[in-house]
Amino acid sequence: QVQLVESGGGLVQAGESLRLSCALSGRTFRNFDMGWFRQAPGLEREFVAAINRNGGSTYYADSMKGRFTISRDNAKNTVYLQMNSLTPEDTARYYCAAGYFVTTDWLRPTSYAYWGQGTQATVSS
């Protein structure tokens, strides 16, 4: 089975940055489209960003555009999420996911077959 392990979360102040990483094992990484989602206490899981299998296309939730950058290194079986200009509203547990995209289905959690356990990012004011 596929395993996804996130890392890089932590506690930062507003305006600072975090770089999250997600390492995939158990299957061929380059065959997967990848996404990041987040979930804050009391809220539903929401889409953050996605990147297709070869890295040629990226997608972002509107509130992340210009601040967050998703990237991948297929040689290292790793997808990244660079988060800049963080605000307290970005506080959440961030989850990495792997799946297969068809058109715009990168927005849907059901498009991702495999999920990591998440890494917590907390942004203080």
List, for residues 51-74, the tens digit of each pLDDT value.
999 999 999 999 898 999 999 999
pLDDT for 103 beyond 90: no
Cα–Cα dist 53/32, whole Å: 5
pLDDT of residue 50: 96
Residue 92's pLDDT band (cuts 50, 70, 90): very high
What is the mean pLDDT of the segment spanning 5-28? 97
What is the mean pLDDT of the segment spanning 21-38? 95
